[in-house]
Amino acid sequence: MASAAPSATALTYTDAVTLVGSANIDAVVLRVAGADGWFVA
């Protein structure tokens, strides 16, 4: 994440939930985690 969005490296889980909403947080976390091409389960 640091290379994709350097300004977001200090983002907390609470901040992320506030930004994307609690209903979508799982999908967003998986998408960000898998953005480098590695499979995330």
SS3 (DSSP) at 25: helix
Chain centroid offset of residue 40 CA: 12
**Domain boundaries in the chain?**
1-41
| pLDDT-derived band at 41, boundaries 50, 70, 90 | low
pTM: 0.45
pLDDT score of 25: 83
| pLDDT-derived band at 22, boundaries 50, 70, 90 | confident
How far is Cα 23 from Cα 8, in angstroms, rounded to an integer? 21
The mean predicted confidence, pLDDT, of the chain is 79
| pLDDT-derived band at 24, boundaries 50, 70, 90 | confident
- Give the count of alpha carbons within 13 A of 1, CB side only: 13
Phi and psi angles of residue 30, each rounded to the nearest 5 degrees, phi first:
-65, -40
